[in-house]
Amino acid sequence: MGTPKHFVGDGGTAWGSSHGGYQIDQGDTQVDEATLRAIHLVPYSAVIAEGAQSIMVSFSRWNDEYMHGQQYLITDVLKEEFGFEGFIVSDWQAIDQINPDFYAAVVQSINAGVDMNMVPYDYERFISVLEEAVDKGTSAKSA
């Protein structure tokens, strides 16, 4: 199964907008929604129409909000508007960028619509935090 990536705006990040020593990789796509739709969302609509079953979220940000926490784009646009019914996977360790509070980051990412977070080094902590959030019924707004 192919996995189109990196949802969304990865190719439109502004030079110098990245964190962690990068200049453009993992940067910020600084455009209005009309431009994001006209340029960056079009390929995803096309791959969904062709039967894509898995999509990977980008490390990048859209107007300074990390993609892995973007409920509007992942759930409202990709899943609901575009009708994507497949599997949403994070990029490698990307959850750590959403929020310095790991609990809040887990809750935001899951509530945004990410089905699987790649947590390569501390997966036991991730599972524990996720179980705690589920047990508490935590939503992104209350994390």
Q: Is the dihedral of CA 22, 10, 35, 74 positive or negative?
A: negative
Query: Which residues are the active-site residues?
Result: 91
| Cα dihedral value 122, 123, 127, 132, nearest 10 | 10
Which alpha helices (H) appear in the chain, and where do they start and end?
Answer: 33-35, 42-49, 71, 95-98, 102-112, 123-136
127/46 Cα distance (integer angstroms): 34
Amino acid code (one letter) for 21:
G
